[in-house]
Amino acid sequence: MTALLEVRDLAKRYRLRGGRVLQAVAGVSFDIAPGEVLALVGESGCGKSTIGRCLLRLEDSDGGEIRFDGARIDDLKPRAFRPLRRRIQIVFQDPYGSLDPRMPVAEILAEPLVSLGLARDRRDAMPRILELLDMVGMPRGAAERRPHEFSGGQRQRIGIARALSVRPDLIVCDEAVSALDVSVKAQIVNLLADLRAELGLAMLFISHDLPIVERIADRVAVMYLGRIVELGAADAVLGAPRHPYTRGLLAAAPRIDGAIETAGLLHGEPPDPARPPSGCRFRTRCPIAAPCCADEEPAMTFAESGHGVACYFNPQPAQMRPAALSTGPC
């Protein structure tokens, strides 16, 4: 199947005080097929949200290419990119901060329709507004109320309705459930899954919540310090991870019974992203690191199944221990 979104060697840098440069995204590549959900996971500060902002041209990338439906979009001027805003939308993390508190819901939902020329005014947009409220499980009476009158979960439903208003092909969900209570998270993820099935939506689902990711993603890309270290089908990456960082994330994720594994738990804090370690960026926290890991960044290698891993040892789950060093190149 032809990819809807293609990202190749994407890079984004920020200049810091003192002349330092933070490489927030360093050579990231992935595809998303029509109707597919790709989850982008990793600890805070790894570059996940930066990628989402670059896709939407909320920030300009510094290298690589972004193609949408076969056409390159990262180098388009703002005027040329404007028609694509209908096809690529975003659901933000904060369901209150992303909604104008002065506007009733009807105006919030009408705004993108009017802005992109899909409706003349709020009155013209009202049939679509009511359809959207039905779609996200909100009462039609919500149209005349303002954001502060709703719970966090209801506000996020409104944010989803706004993203859907212009009938996009791809939605970027940037930590869209992280600010919600556990029970509400499940409701919103179920809603997104239902909408994806009903509308054939593709999604980039940015999250650090692995149990939530497991419920919605077709594939998972794991990021660490600006790079993707593992990429593959969700059941393979989450069920049989092959990178030590992925295993650490999974070990640290609370289970349904609230317990947390101790074996394989991530140790220490991520390094300063403006001064990443040489070679493999994860080596300073890796339980199987060897001297050669400091020499050069390992390339992503793919199995026939499409499961990719950026690790010199590329171990099977049972080999994730120091003895596995004998299988590597050192």
What local confidence, expressed as pLDDT, does residue 265 receive?
63
Q: Does any domain span residue 57?
A: yes
What integer pLDDT is reported at residue 263 of this predicted model? 47
Say if 58 falls within a structural domain.
yes
Whether residue 246 sits in one domain with residue 121: no
> What is the rounded distance in angstroms from the CA atom of residue 231 to the CA atom of residue 38?
10
Tokens of 238: 């989450």
Check: CB of residue 175 under 8 Å from CB of residue 161: no
Quick one: 143 and 229 in the same domain? no
273 to 24, 64, 138, 183, 225: CA distances (angstroms): 7, 20, 42, 34, 6
> Does any domain span residue 130?
yes
Q: What local confidence, expressed as pLDDT, does residue 66 receive?
A: 97
- Note the pTM of the prediction, 2 decimals: 0.90
How many whole angstroms separate alpha carbon 293 and alpha carbon 286?
A: 10
Mean pLDDT by 10 residues, the chain (330 residues): 92 90 93 97 91 94 95 92 92 84 94 92 94 96 94 94 96 90 90 94 93 93 96 95 92 57 64 90 91 91 91 61 45
Q: How many residues does the chain have?
A: 330
Residues 223 and 120 in one domain: no
**How high is the pLDDT of residue 182?**
85
pLDDT at 318: 40
pLDDT of residue 209: 87
**pLDDT tens digit string along 230-285?**
999 999 999 999 999 999 999 887 654 444 444 456 777 888 888 899 999 999 99
Domain boundary residue among 248, 263, 278?
263
pLDDT number for residue 257: 43
Among 123, 138, 167, which residue terminates a domain?
167
Quote the domain boundaries for residue 67.
5-87+169-263
Q: Do 126 and 196 fall within a single domain?
A: no
Give the end of a domain, one of 263, 289, 322: 263
- 258: domain CATH number? 3.40.50.300
Q: Are residues 109 and 231 in the same domain?
A: no
**Predicted pLDDT at 80:** 92
Domain count, the chain: 2
CA 286, CA 291: separation in Å to the nearest integer? 12
Is there a single domain that holds both residue 192 and residue 66?
A: yes
